């Protein structure tokens, strides 16, 4: 049989099993590769983990571990951040490099995107110099063959000197073969290490002698010698060279005539790429038809075109909101609400009456637990819809294009296009979005992006938006909600202009991001992502929101003397709420119920709806919608939504902000600023909106 690629279609399922105590027989395998090479997809296939996979660079920021079970050899798999090289330019590269040096895995699995093999092999050459036992997982072989290309991986394997296993991680092809190879302890190869011309190689050998003269058994000597040649800051800091060593090494560098007016790191990079291009020309064959314009290129004419990119982005975003908040989303929400009212609530009331439960017990169960929590759960279909549509865009490869398109606009507010990734994540949840800023190498970019993420309206605010929009703007729900998201973006742009040259001064960073090939979203990835978000929504509904509604019910059902009262105006909550309510008078909602609901929103934004349900004894959002029609005007309702859009995020997000900013001062400034901008914008909307309505209506 020919040595040209042959991938056996054998699909396997492996269940994750994470253990703290690692037996001696367990193999520790680290996954390393370029961003978007399919590394996390392979991790999911090997471990059964529910780690989400996105079709853009920067999804994995910290390393994650899982255990392969149901395999003859226990294997711990570590998913490290995607990197392009071991140069210390980004946190991901430092994390990966430090992990290899400190944890010393038994074997390294280098995942290579077969469709971009030249670029991917650059990391491979550095990895082999680290003197680890390596297996190459040649991913996306199915896509390579569809493009009409053939790769003689056996020839490549012989040239590099390590075992190569062709796989397709997204389709679970070649997984068993990879596990078999990981299990062969005696056959692990360290691979070739000499990729350089004679004069460069001679210089590296001389630097090795200088470094080893006073240092016995130095780890990864060759790798460190090369990095010293390149003037790598981390390695130089680690080695602490003496003045004599520095002089000797400078003399060695100067012996190379080609170094005049050139960067030493570029010299090494050139040498590596010459080697890579040589072996690829010998191992890769392609049909003449391969020169044709690809489908991705044709699609990109529209999605990244000079005049069509921004309009297409806005059209798709509006379509997502229309599907989520329009007739489809409304129908699904109504179905869940009817089920809660006609089945859950009715059954609970029947059994409570049958057992002659007390009034306060009925109030607790029906108003707080079922009424409050059920009001939030009724929005579950829309949460699923929203994340399904966003996940399709992410996994298809479009979001990387969106980051590319947005780079020019983000530059105007002091950010690079790479900041678009965490900002977009903010529409889902602020916590992972803030943590996702670790992909930004520039400190100024990172801190400014963290300040802007709260303006990206997270999904937790969606129940409140839909409640008020369906009650006050029934014929224009999509437009009303879409305008809020746009207003959040405008607030972020204004804040960026305000802070980019004041609070966060600094030099702008370059923007480099790979545009992956368009692909059909993987069903498994979609389900994992949707379930991850739905699970988070359900966990919050069953813990934080349930707890908050019970506390709110207690505070609004008992007075200061801890006596059960049916008059809510005498309750503990009313007394406290009345103190802070006047603050919101200019915003149009200066009643204690609104003020209290905003306080509970600091715990979780979904709690605002459940709190209002409890405070007004509403059995579901339909009844609550009718109640608020008598308490708010359309203008004050919209002002209330604006305040919710812009004010301080939940405590979990604030905690993440402090963790990433590493500064209480900046965290407090962020909290105060969000509160101020929310109050100011809300009051502005209400006052000017009311004025204009009186003049023109």
The span from the CA of 626 to the CA of 470, in Å, is 10
Q: Which pLDDT value is given to residue 137?
A: 93
**What global pTM score does this model have?**
0.62
Which domains are seen in the chain, by residue range? Answer: 27-187 (3.40.50.300), 198-286 (1.10.287.1770), 314-696 (no CATH)
The span from the CA of 383 to the CA of 377, in Å, is 10
- The residue among 488 and 414 whose pLDDT is bigger is 488
Give CA torsion, residues 327, 330, 335, 338, to 10 deg.
-130
The span from the CA of 342 to the CA of 362, in Å, is 17
CA distances from 384 to 231, 344, 375, 428, 530 (A): 50, 21, 16, 11, 7
Task: Report the candidate in 349, 357, 330, 351 with the shortest Cα–Cα distance to residue 619.
Answer: 349
Q: Are 508 and 414 in contact (CB under 8 A)?
A: yes
Task: Report the candidate in 201, 526, 214 with the shortest Cα–Cα distance to residue 396.
Answer: 526
Distance from first CA to last CA of the chain, Å, rounded? 82
Q: Which pLDDT value is given to residue 651?
A: 78
pLDDT exceeds 90 at position 61: no
pLDDT exceeds 60 at position 58: no
Q: Which pLDDT value is given to residue 1?
A: 36
The span from the CA of 456 to the CA of 423, in Å, is 7
Q: Please identify which residue in the block is written with the tokens 């812009």.
A: 646
Task: Give 414-466 pLDDT, tens digit per residue.
Answer: 887 778 778 877 887 787 678 778 767 678 888 899 999 999 988 788 889 98
Task: Give 326-377 pLDDT, tens digit per residue.
Answer: 778 778 877 887 887 778 878 888 888 888 887 778 777 877 677 667 666 7
């Amino acid at each position: 049989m020919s040595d040209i690629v042959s991938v056996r279609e054998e699909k396997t399922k492996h269940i994750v099993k994470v253990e703290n105590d690692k037996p001696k027989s367990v193999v520790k395998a680290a996954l390393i590769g370029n961003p978007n090479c399919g590394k996390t997809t392979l991790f999911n296939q090997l471990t059964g983990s529910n780690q989400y996979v996105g079709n853009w660079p920067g999804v994995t920021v910290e390393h994650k571990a899982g255990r392969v079970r149901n395999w003859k050899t226990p294997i711990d798999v570590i998913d490290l951040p995607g990197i392009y090289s071991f140069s210390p330019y980004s946190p991901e590269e430092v994390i990966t490099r430090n992990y290899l040096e400190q944890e010393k895995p038994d074997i390294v699995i280098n995942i290579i995107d077969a469709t971009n093999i030249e670029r991917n092999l650059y990391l491979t050459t550095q990895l082999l110099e680290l003197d680890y036992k390596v297996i190459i997982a040649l991913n996306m072989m199915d896509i390579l063959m569809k493009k009409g290309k053939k790769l003689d991986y056996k020839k490549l394997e012989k040239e590099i000197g390590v075992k190569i296993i062709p796989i397709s991680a997204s389709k679970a092809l070649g997984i068993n073969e990879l596990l078999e190879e990981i299990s062969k302890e005696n056959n692990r190869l360290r691979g070739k290490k000499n990729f350089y011309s004679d004069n460069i190689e001679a210089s590296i050998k001389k630097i090795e002698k200088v470094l080893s003269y006073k240092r016995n058994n130095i780890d990864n000597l060759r790798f460190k010698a090369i990095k010293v040649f390149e003037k790598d800051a981390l390695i130089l800091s680690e080695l602490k060279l003496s003045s004599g060593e520095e002089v000797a090494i400078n003399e060695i560098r100067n012996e190379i005539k080609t170094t005049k007016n050139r960067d030493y790191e570029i010299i090494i990079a050139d040498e590596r790429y010459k080697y890579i291009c040589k072996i690829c020309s010998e191992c890769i064959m392609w049909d003449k038809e391969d020169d044709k314009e690809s489908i991705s290129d044709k699609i990109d004419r529209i999605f990244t075109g000079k005049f069509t990119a921004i309009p297409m982005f806005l059209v798709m975003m509006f379509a997502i909101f229309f599907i989520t908040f329009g007739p489809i989303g409304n129908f699904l929400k109504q179905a869940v609400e009817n089920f809660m009212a006609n089945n859950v609530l009715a059954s609970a009331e029947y059994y409570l009456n049958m057992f002659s439960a007390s009034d306060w017990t009925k109030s607790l169960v029906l108003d707080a637990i079922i009424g409050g929590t059920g009001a939030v759960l009724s929005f579950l279909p829309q949460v699923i819809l929203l994340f399904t549509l966003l996940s399709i865009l992410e996994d298809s490869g479009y979001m990387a294009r969106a980051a590319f398109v947005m780079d020019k606009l983000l530059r105007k507010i002091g950010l690079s296009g790479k900041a678009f990734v965490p900002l977009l994540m903010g529409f889902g949840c602020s916590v992972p979005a803030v943590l996702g800023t670790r992909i930004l190498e520039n400190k100024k970019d990172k801190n400014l992006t963290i300040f802007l993420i709260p303006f990206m309206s997270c999904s937790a605010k969606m129940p409140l938006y839909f409640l008020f929009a369906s009650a006050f703007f029934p014929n224009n729900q999509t437009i009303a909600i879409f305008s809020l998201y746009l207003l959040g973006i405008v607030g972020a742009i204004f804040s960026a202009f305000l802070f980019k040259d004041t609070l966060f001064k600094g030099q702008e960073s370059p923007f480099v991001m790979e545009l992956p090939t368009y692909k059909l979203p993987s069903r498994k990835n979609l389900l994992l992502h949707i379930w991850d978000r739905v699970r988070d929504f359900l966990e919050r509904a069953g813990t934080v929101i349930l707890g908050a509604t019970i506390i709110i019910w207690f505070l609004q059902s008992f007075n200061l003397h801890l006596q059960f009262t049916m008059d809510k105006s005498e309750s503990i909550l009313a007394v406290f709420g009345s103190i802070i309510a006047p603050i919101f008078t200019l915003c149009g909602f200066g009643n204690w119920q609104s003020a209290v609901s905003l306080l509970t929103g600091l715990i979780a934004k979904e709690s605002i709806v459940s709190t209002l349900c409890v405070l007004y004894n509403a059995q579901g959002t339909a009844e609550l919608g009718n109640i608020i029609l008598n308490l708010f005007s359309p203008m004050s309702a919209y002002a209330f939504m604006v305040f919710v859009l812009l004010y301080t995020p939940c405590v979990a997000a604030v905690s993440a902000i402090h963790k990433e900013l590493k500064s209480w001062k900046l965290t407090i400034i962020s909290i105060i600023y969000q509160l101020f901008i929310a109050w100011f914008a809300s009051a502005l909307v209400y006052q000017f909106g009311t004025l204009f309505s009186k003049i023109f209506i």
